[in-house]
Amino acid sequence: MDDVQARSDRSCINLCPFVFIRGQKRLMSDRPQGELVIQTIAMPQDTNPNGDIFGGWVTSQMDLGSGILAAKTAQARVVTAAMEGMSFLQPVRVGDTVRCYAHVEKIGRTSMTIPVEVWVTSYMTGEELRVTHGVFTLVAVDESGKPIPVKRGSA
């Protein structure tokens, strides 16, 4: 079984209200989970030849958002150590407002596990949709890039 499973058709949001992440069944909410960490607009320079926004651009927004939350939590420089598999549920279109929501799920000695959800507000219809989700692991590091303990109780 893949780390993250979800059906890619639109009916999944209503018919499959859960995903499997790291082998655990998790309920998908009809509202964003976590705090808003990034909000931006999808622009034409971020598209593939079909006119949809590149998945890599969406992933980079998720990475930035998880990094913002991790740095705030650790009160230190952070680096991305891992990203678990993602499932794109809907395409992102030019003009859509893209929002990343994240929360700290787990704090280890030097690392943090941060699930991130991406929601869009459609430029054309105003409809709000979850388009993807993923789990990022970030590590607190010192000036030389060596892992340091995460400061707890600081966010």
CA-CA distance, 86 to 129, in Å (whole number)? Answer: 16
Say what the pLDDT of residue 28 is.
Answer: 57
Residue 54 lies in a domain: yes
Residue 109 lies in a domain: yes
Residue 73 lies in a domain: yes
Which two tokens mark 47? Answer: 């598209």
Residue 99 lies in a domain: yes
Helix (H, G, I), strand (E, B) or coil at 41: strand
Residue 70 lies in a domain: yes
Say what the pLDDT of residue 3 is.
Answer: 39
Consecutive H or E run containing 91: none
Tally of structural domains, the chain: 1
Consecutive H or E run containing 25: strand 24-27
Q: In tens digits, what is the pLDDT along the chain, a chain of 155 residues?
A: 333 343 333 334 433 444 454 555 445 568 899 999 999 999 999 999 888 999 999 999 999 999 999 999 999 999 999 999 888 999 999 999 999 999 999 999 999 999 999 999 999 999 999 999 999 999 999 999 999 999 876 44
- In the sheet that holds 18-21, the strands lie side by side as 4-5, 18-21, 24-27
CATH code assigned at 113: 3.10.129.10
Residue 146 lies in a domain: no
Residue 102 lies in a domain: yes
Q: What range defines the domain where residue 111 resides?
A: 36-141
**What is the pTM for the complete model shown?**
0.80
Separation in Å, CA 89 to CA 9, 15, 47, 56, 129 = 7, 13, 17, 15, 9
Residue 128 lies in a domain: yes
